[in-house]
Amino acid sequence: MTLRLKGLMRHMKRDITQELLAWKEQPNRKPLVLKGVRQCGKTYILKEFGREYYKDVAYFNFEETRSLSSLFEQDYDVKRILFELGLFLGRTITPGNTLIILDEIQECPRAITALKYFCENALEYHVACAGSLLGLAIHENQSFPVGKVDIRTLYPMSFYEFLSATGNEALADYLTSFQPGSSVSELIGVKLRTTLKQYYVVGGMPEAVSVWCETGDLEKVEAVQQDILASYELDFAKHAPPSEFPKLSAIWASVPQQLAKPNSKFIFSHVKKGWRSKDLEDALQWLIRAGLVYQVCKVEKPFMPLSSYADATSFKLYLCDVGLLRRLARLPAQVVLDSSGIYTEFKGVMTENYVLGELVKHVDATPYYWVSGNSAEVDFIVQCGAHIVPIEVKAESNVKARSLAEYRKKYAPPVSVKTSMLDDISGNEVRLIPLYLIGSMGALIQPEPKTPGGDIDSVSL
């Protein structure tokens, strides 16, 4: 089942459009490589960007048209390649006016290599590429033209993008410009918390969001999510070494179970009895580089740079999308929406996965987690500008945080964050931030302005 809701998806705003515009305006732009997990919207956003900001779009798909690869077999003469692509298309490709989209480029390794020659010999042409598992190609394919391309990442839709897609554009715009000192009324807080729970259920995959907006039918949403999960399993079989396929599937399926454990630490022997880290390390790295899972490593000393103090042998694994985590865990949607008591323990897992996704998209930093010798644990530690910020995540309104207090006593960070379902936005050294605003953490941990901003009630909804 593959639903094509193009009419609706044209109204979905994606934050990456601004990055694409900046790329377009660069005088010495390199070919663009847009990477991201399968079905996160790469093809759609490039086509929409081309339609809106170029006179013409020349779209080529190496998976749909296998014979396209033959154009790259002879040599890397980009003038010849462009001429023949134009002949195939039936119209001339013109510099600056045509956006050339090379989709599913991983199916033609020589086309990936050719990007080097587009960079060196044809900068006047605007070339954008997309494909599944390009993160693997960047790490593993020796022909990848490192330094000759501009690489951008498209993630599943953030909560702000979800708000906009679900008809709450004014609210989304306001939240993205939220300032310290502003306040959220109880009325609007209820609306935001309700929509956030919907986001936990639907997630950020554009097709699932489209179905939710179009139909409001959770069964149809789950059918889309199941198709996406199945497509990932097919990628395991198609692109990974045959010997790794059962390991990939086993690790992937174990993520919800491992997160549900008391300390959530990933244990290799829990994937399958008898398997050890040396048996599964290659498969794990494949999933990480494919962008399907996020690895959050432990740090015991939260000093800069955090990466130098990370313990790669002790980590947690989260999924690339909170909605897919819920579906992979077989957690009924209504249990999440109704906040059922039988969902209490896994609620923290869902909330952490959501927060991690927002941090990756908006804070542009690799999150870690902190554990002390006496088992105190802070959910996330991120390097945000000149600060290392500890973040305590609470699924509901309880903001007591013994572990964060211990961290602060030990390291005295200038700013810390507690995030929960409370609408309260206050505090200086310990900043309270509602979960629905965690994507704006970078702005909200700044000192409060002398003149507080307006109340959210003044926004037209």
Q: Judge whether 196 lies within some domain.
A: yes
Q: Are strands 310-319 and 293-299 parallel, antiparallel or unpaired?
A: antiparallel
* C-alpha dist (Å) from residue 155 to 219, 311, 359: 24, 26, 11
Are 287 and 416 in the same domain?
Answer: yes
Are 178 and 108 in the same domain?
Answer: no
Q: Judge whether 375 lies within some domain.
A: yes
| d(C-alpha 78, C-alpha 76), whole Å | 6
Predicted TM-score (pTM) of the model is: 0.91
Q: Judge whether 456 lies within some domain.
A: no
CATH code, domain with 64: 3.40.50.300
C-beta separation of 456 from 167 below 8 A: no
pLDDT given for residue 241 in this prediction: 86
Tell me which of 111, 135, 153 is where a domain ends. Answer: 153
Are 414 and 374 in the same domain?
Answer: yes
Are 347 and 234 in the same domain?
Answer: yes
Total number of domains in the chain: 2
pLDDT given for residue 278 in this prediction: 86
Q: Judge whether 457 lies within some domain.
A: no
Q: Judge whether 460 lies within some domain.
A: no
| Joined tokens for residue 83 | 């001429």
Are 232 and 139 in the same domain?
Answer: no
pLDDT given for residue 141 in this prediction: 52
Measured in residues, the chain has a length of 461
Are 187 and 202 in the same domain?
Answer: yes
Q: Judge whether 461 lies within some domain.
A: no
Q: Judge whether 147 lies within some domain.
A: yes
pLDDT given for residue 345 in this prediction: 78
Q: Judge whether 458 lies within some domain.
A: no
Are 149 and 113 in the same domain?
Answer: yes
Instruction: Find the domain containing 399 and state its range.
Output: 159-444
pLDDT given for residue 72 in this prediction: 95
Are 292 and 406 in the same domain?
Answer: yes
Q: Which residue numbers in the chain have pLDDT < 50?
A: 1-10, 450-461
**pLDDT tens for residues 175-223?**
887 777 778 888 888 999 999 999 999 999 999 999 999 999 999 999 9
Q: Between 277-289 and 245-259, two packed helices, what is the crossing angle to 10 degrees?
A: 90
| Joined tokens for residue 268 | 């290799």
Are 350 and 227 in the same domain?
Answer: yes
Are 203 and 139 in the same domain?
Answer: no
Tell me which of 153, 177, 195 is where a domain ends. Answer: 153
pLDDT given for residue 123 in this prediction: 93
* C-alpha dist (Å) from residue 12 to 44, 180, 206, 356: 10, 28, 8, 22
Are 421 and 342 in the same domain?
Answer: yes
Are 83 and 186 in the same domain?
Answer: no
What DSSP letter does each residue of 58-101 carry, written as one string?
A: EEEETTT-GGGGGGGTS---HHHHHHHHHHHHTS---TTTEEEE
C-beta separation of 381 from 337 below 8 A: no
CB within 8 A of 216, min separation 6: which ones? none
CB within 8 A of 350, min separation 6: which ones? 200, 322, 325, 326, 331, 336, 395
